Amino acid sequence: MRTARHARSVVVPEGVVAAIAIGGTAARLLFRRHWVIEAIGSGGQELRWRTKGRAGAYATVDQVAEALRGGLTPQPAAAELAQKR
C-alpha cells in the first residue's frame, strides 16, 4: 500500500507543473504580454529587446538574425531596446 501512495504523489506534482506551464504560455499568448528577445554578438556584446505578442517576437528574431548575418547592429522596428537584467 505504501508504494502505491508514493507513486501517486510523484504523478500529482508533475501534473501541477505541467498545468502551470501550459497556463502561463496560454496567458502570455492571449494577453499579448511582452516577450524578451536576447542576442549575444561574436564579441560578447549582449542586446535585449522587448516586443508584444508572438508575431512581434518572431518578426523581431528574424530582423535581429538578418542584421547580425550582415554584420550590422540590429535595430528591429517593432521592438524597444531593453535594459540588461
Whether residues 27 and 5 share a domain: the answer is yes
Name the domain count of the chain.
2
CB atoms within 10 A of CB 64: 20
Q: Look up the domain containing 11 and give its range.
A: 1-31
Whether residue 37 sits in one domain with residue 73: yes
pLDDT tens digits, the chain, 85 residues: what are they?
A: 545 554 555 455 777 888 888 888 787 777 767 888 898 877 788 889 998 887 888 899 999 999 888 888 888 988 888 876 6
Q: Evaluate if pTM is beyond 0.75.
A: no
What pLDDT is attached to residue 49?
A: 92
